[in-house]
Amino acid sequence: MTAIDAAIRWHAGDFHLDVALGAGPGVTVLFGPSGSGKSLTLRAVAGLLTPSEGRIAVDGRVVFDSARGLDLPAHARGIGYAGQRPALFPHLSVGGNVAFGIRAGSRADRARTAAAWLARLELPGFEHRRPGSLSGGQAQRVALARALAPGHRVLLLDEPFSALDESLRQGLRQLLADLVQERELAIIFVTHDLREAHLLADQLVVIDRGRVLQAGPRDGVFRAPRHRRVAELLGGTNILAGRVVARAAASLTVSIDGWEAVAASWHGDPQPGDAVDIVIRPERVVIRRGEPAATNTLPARVRREFDYGTNHTLEFEPLGPGPSLLVDLPSRPYDVLGIAAKKDWVLELPPGDVHVMPAAPPFRATTQ
């Protein structure tokens, strides 16, 4: 059963939110830039924001329906929620925080349940601590325990790790992934961090300027964006303008700056002569030595390089006709290949990693 099924319309000033969202078991990541409407969508589902129009169902139960005048309060929607900050109740103990939303059982039962959740979130014996004495990572784990303790199967998390150090984030992401498996949770996770989105998502929903641009299984959305803006948001830094030269049953031949490449992935119905955008993810490009092959190879030279510590981003310019390309390479292959000393290479682009989309103008940020 779909855990969340929502159609939401809301506006304030010039900003219009108009999203349709479906989320099943596992982690559905709501990804988009700041101000795109991700948190508003989450709050509308949680019952913390009233849409002007729409319908929201949680686990098959309608909790909001503007047509019927139905608007269940947040606590009655059967949803756990944690925001960007832990926002613990400062006047209660850690145990009191976690037990706050538990409805069933005696006081002692609730305290036991809270203690069990704290133990599961790797905070055993923390019940009597005060929120002010916790570190950022501990406080966020208490916030997660508080959201989970009432026993809800659906959890809404609004950038819960954004204020934490990277090392703490990694531990919490793993903990979350374990909990999803263990408790069969359905989570909607809001983030604007691309790495976090890729790491956690089973399903990915890309949202921008109040609209869902694309939704589907993570790898499908990453590998095959529908149009330029999705590719831009998902870090597809090689977005090239080209034209379809030929179309076969399972491949397209496209021309990019006088260089021809074969693509095995496309969106829409591109026909020979059509202007298209081509996206090639920088981490999918293969670097090798030797002679260029007949298809999808491009002799190129390193023009600039950027060292990010764990990986290098190399900017290649073609030695003949063709586009300039950015290539991401982990540090170890960079050292082994000796790229610091040798600059001329052959770039190889597997046809499955060359994705063609209908042509669209480059995105220009507008004031919302």
Which residues are at the interface with another protein (CB under 8 A)?
43, 46-48, 73-77, 79-85, 87-91, 100-101, 132, 143, 146-147, 150
Q: What angle do CA 111, 159, 120 make, to 5 degrees?
A: 30
Q: Which amino acid is at 60?
A: G
CB of 99 to another protein, least distance (A): 10
CB of 48 to another protein, least distance (A): 5
Residue closer to another protein, measured from CB, 158 or 232: 158
Residue closer to another protein, measured from CB, 146 or 267: 146
CB of 249 to another protein, least distance (A): 51
Residue closer to another protein, measured from CB, 88 or 278: 88
CB of 96 to another protein, least distance (A): 10
CB of 36 to another protein, least distance (A): 20
Residue 204, beta-bridge partner list: 29, 216
CB of 84 to another protein, least distance (A): 7
**Cβ(149)–Cβ(101) below 8 Å:** yes
Question: To which residue do tokens 């059963």 refer?
Answer: 1
CB of 144 to another protein, least distance (A): 11
Count of CA atoms in the C-beta half-sphere (13 A) of 187 = 28
* d(C-alpha 29, C-alpha 203), whole Å: 6
b/e burial code for range 278-317 (CB count within 10 A of at least 16 → b) = bbbbbebbebeeeebeeebbbebebeebeeeeebbbbbbe
Contacts of 248 (CB under 8 A, 6+ apart): none
The order of strands in the sheet holding 252-256 is 259-263, 252-256, 238-247, 275-280, 354-358, 265-266
> Burial level of 192, CB count in 10 A (0-12/13-18/19+)?
middle
Residue closer to another protein, measured from CB, 98 or 314: 98
Residue closer to another protein, measured from CB, 83 or 322: 83
Residue closer to another protein, measured from CB, 129 or 247: 129
CB of 113 to another protein, least distance (A): 14
Helix segments in 16-77, DSSP class H: 38-46
Residue closer to another protein, measured from CB, 28 or 39: 39
Residue closer to another protein, measured from CB, 103 or 289: 103
In this structure, how many other beta carbons lie within 10 angstroms of the beta carbon of residue 359? 16
Q: What angle do CA 132, 138, 139 make, to 5 degrees?
A: 50
